[in-house]
Amino acid sequence: DAGVTQSPTHLIKTRGQHVTLRCSPISGHKSVSWYQQVLGQGPQFIFQYYEKEERGRGNFPDRFSARQFPNYSSELNVNALLLGDSALYLCASSLTGTGVWDTEAFFGQGTRLTVV
Amino acid sequence: RKEVEQDPGPFNVPEGATVAFNCTYSNSASQSFFWYRQDCRKEPKLLMSVYSSGNEDGRFTAQLNRASQYISLLIRDSKLSDSATYLCVVTIDQTGANNLFFGTGTRLTVIP
């Protein structure tokens, strides 16, 4: 059974460009969350989607947006890229996405974004 | 103020040693607690959940002190394969979302 898959694995973009990152959750998982991990730091929460609805949003600017599709896959979009957006972007899937955390979150291997 | 604070280390210990990591969290409404392990340039993976009663999984013991808002992880008889970054994680139920709050991670290197 496939785990969480993310694409692309690596990406280099120029300041001001736009980027779209993709995530496919584990089959049967309905919740997808996105995290940004800057070198030397722990992952920081960006968005959570459950059943195609946004359930939570972290402290990130409006340049960051996301959506979840009927097949529960998800896209993270970042506009007007800044050098500081260079990071590992992690997608996590879980079975449920409401209330108290009751199921394990499984992470994909991430997309390493470099903004030059 | 960060939701989760950890000593970033690094901790360099010989094989067979016992090592302890600590973490504090700021929000008393935090509901669930975990330790994740992250190998270099890999994704985080759940190591163990942390319960108020304390829990053990082989060489790993996790403790939670809600009154002090403190979480710990003890690794006994360290193996070379334990070398990784250990992330302290809490969840806070915010409007139905159950996002994870990560500490910066504590880096452990086990030396032969």
Alpha-carbon gap, residue B108 to B85, rounded angstroms? 6
DSSP string, B70-88: EEEEEE-S--GGG-EEEEE
What does the block give as tokens for A87?
């990071």
What does the block give as tokens for A96?
């449920």
Alpha-carbon gap, residue B13 to A63, rounded angstroms? 43
Measured in angstroms, the CA of B91 and the nearest CA of chain A are apart by: 7
Q: Say what the pLDDT of residue A51 is.
A: 87
The residues that bridge with B74 in the sheet, in sequence order, are B20, B61
Q: Using a CB-CB distance cutoff of 8 angstroms, which residues of chain B are in contact with residue A95?
A: none
Strands B70-75 and A106-107: unpaired
User: Which residue is associated with the tokens 């970033």?
Assistant: B8
Alpha-carbon gap, residue A68 to A76, rounded angstroms? 9
Nearest CA in chain A to B32: A101
Q: Which phi and psi (to 5°) does residue B98 adopt?
A: -125, 55
Q: What is the mean pLDDT of residues A105-113?
A: 94
Are B43 and A109 inside 8 Å of each other by CB?
A: yes
Q: What is the residue-averaged pLDDT of chain B? A: 91
A28 to chain B, any CB pair closer than 8 A? The answer is no
Give whichever of A24-28, A102-106, B81-85 has the largest mean pLDDT.
B81-85
Confidence of residue B95 (pLDDT cuts 50, 70, 90): low
Alpha-carbon gap, residue A52 to A69, rounded angstroms? 6
Burial of B72 (0-12, 13-18, 19+ CB in 10 A): middle
Confidence of residue B15 (pLDDT cuts 50, 70, 90): very high
Q: What is the enclosing helix (H) or strand (E) of B61?
A: strand B60-65
Tell me what percent of the residues of chain A surpass a pLDDT of 70: 93
Strands B44-49 and B55-57: unpaired
